[in-house]
Structure 1
């Protein structure tokens, strides 16, 4: 097996795959139905390479995503079913889920909605790690919602087929937390990685408009109507978009405590805000039309 793994590693390296040895081992482990650690032990003891490894390595060398070949993507504590038609969850999004989990942990029986859930990664993780939370997930894509349904069903998440800009009008003003990882890539910023450009659905990539922020703005507007006063909103975005997101949240005049959060790599990849509480006389507890801004690190 070790010889086959080395050969696979070289083929993947020549094809430009970023982690050739890891991918070769994961493909072999997938075929054998064992963990990567167990596979390494088997390779040391001279076990034979699994049948079909060459074919999978060929596909990976053509830059078909590893997760499409294994049918699975790891996210925090769970494994998600993924494949063509759904955005593969990224490690940086785990930091966004952590922000939601930390906030939800301070509340009794929180109501949470994930706008544009894709595979269901954030919603499933929140439901898994916050006992007693009532979690909703909204997704527009017919293909993605099929994957989300399979991933969310074990966690009791309520999946809604709808547009993040208009979904759940009957639930306005009832949620404690709204989270979103909407499409946010600008129209002319074509991803350089073949796995993304050729295999992630365009519907999940491009946010609309020259700056890619049409859908992030729509997610923020929906959060403002869905949240209770004092409710928490957090949204993922590109690093370069952080100041723009903070600016349009501030301009909306309904948010306070606007905070930029960094992912584990130190990049500004999410922004959170709190829906202003309004006094009985109609004035804001945070002052009229002035946003409180800060910078913090996500966990």
Structure 2
């Protein structure tokens, strides 16, 4: 799953014959605060592990917390509260270009303390070990490591999914792909859905959650990513969602979902789409996200072309394809869809007005003579 949007220049061209929705406005959350000196590390605790009560203070009774040694502000002197630490971290991340700096800082703090974000004890003073671990994570996030790779989870369409190094972290932009796809099958009973280039399985799992009557298949060629997809599918099934079938297959080779040829109502796809020679990508994408989820040949369209070829074979007459392609291909992908025999092609922007995905329909079967 390669959802990379708005990371390079904008062409500003409109797609002939494609319907473009008006751009929407998104407000990025940026938190004020003072500079956080990430080079300063507090003393490590002794060899006995986490600091014990009596040396730094008492353990807070926070439900679900692994440990949180803390002291009161009066006893701490110059030590600061968790709220201040988060504000400083958010300021650091914001200066580095993180549009959701406050959110990311809170997620990292929750990871260190072993609690939900909603249960963060903002007015307490964390112990030295917790502060050191938090600052270390903030430094890695500032270096471009994806938040999901640091926390081990990502939220997509309200679902918490397991992610980590080796799998692309799903992004909020791609939720629009799902919404457009579900709209297309709103009147279809028990739709068959295929998620191509599934990565962690985000689109497939969200579709199964929203449409419990659907039969959903996820296709991913990379074994690490496919492993995450299976793990997430098993977890969602434990929570009551319809199980998603994960297939470890390569879209560029014959035989992908052969058993479903001509039977699929909806194909969702978020293939990699950046050209191999792309320059000036943020470090999160150029160094930390898995390369195979970002780059796709000299023009960035190798997997998009494979997706269209597979989709036209899988879809039933009148079935819908929704494919994410980012701002670089707002004109090219609709042209490829037209050349592949699709109709009712429309282009759709992201929250900032940049081309994000295209939707198209396979022609309905001709009526019998």
Q: Is the 8 A contact 2:177 2:323 kept in 1?
A: yes
> Matches of residues 20-99 of structure 1 in structure 2 within 5 Å?
20-39=101-120, 42-43=121-122, 45-48=123-126, 51=130, 52-99=133-180
Aligned to 1:242: 330
Question: What is the rounded CA distance, in whole Å, between the counterparts of 2:144 and 2:261 in structure 1?
Answer: 43
Question: Which residue of 180, 195, 206 corresponds with 2:284?
Answer: 195
Alpha-carbon RMSD: 2.1
Aligned to 1:168: 257
User: What is the deviation of 1:18?
Assistant: 4.6
Using the TM superposition, name which of 47-56 and 112-121 deviates more: 47-56
Output one character per residue of 1:77-101: Cα deviation in whole Å (capped at 9) or x when no partner. Answer: 1011111110111111010011112
Aligned to 1:143: 224
> Matches of residues 78-227 of structure 1 in structure 2 within 5 Å?
78-153=159-234, 154=237, 155=241, 156-165=243-252, 166=254, 167-190=256-279, 192-209=281-298, 211-227=299-315
Q: How many residues align?
A: 277
Q: Is the 8 A contact 2:262 2:314 kept in 1?
A: yes
Q: Is the 8 A contact 1:105 1:130 kept in 2?
A: no
Question: What is the rounded CA distance, in whole Å, between the counterparts of 1:191 and 1:135 in structure 2?
Answer: 37
Q: Is the 8 A contact 1:80 1:121 kept in 2?
A: yes
Q: Is the 8 A contact 1:17 1:63 kept in 2?
A: no
Tell me the SS of whatever aligns to 2:286: helix
Q: Which has the higher strand share?
A: 1
Distance 1:275 1:64, change over 3 A: same
TM-score (norm 2): 0.70
Aligned to 2:58: none
Q: Is the 8 A contact 1:246 1:271 kept in 2?
A: yes
Q: Which has the higher helix share?
A: 1
User: What is the deviation of 1:37?
Assistant: 3.6
Tell me the SS of whatever aligns to 1:276: coil
Output one character per residue of 1:110-134: Cα deviation in whole Å (capped at 9) or x when no partner. Answer: 0010011001110000000012000
Tell me the SS of whatever aligns to 2:150: helix
The unaligned stretches of length 5 or more in structure 2 are 1-81
Question: Which residue of 304, 321, 339 corresponds with 1:251?
Answer: 339
User: What is the deviation of 1:57?
Assistant: 2.4
Question: What is the rounded CA distance, in whole Å, between the counterparts of 1:21 and 1:157 in structure 2?
Answer: 34
Tell me the SS of whatever aligns to 2:126: coil
Tell me the SS of whatever aligns to 1:92: helix
Output one character per residue of 1:18-47: Cα deviation in whole Å (capped at 9) or x when no partner. Answer: 5443322221112223333432xx21x335
Larger Rg: 2
Question: What is the rounded CA distance, in whole Å, between the counterparts of 2:100 and 2:143 in structure 1?
Answer: 14
User: What is the deviation of 1:7?
Assistant: 4.0
Using the TM superposition, name which of 30-39 and 81-90 deviates more: 30-39
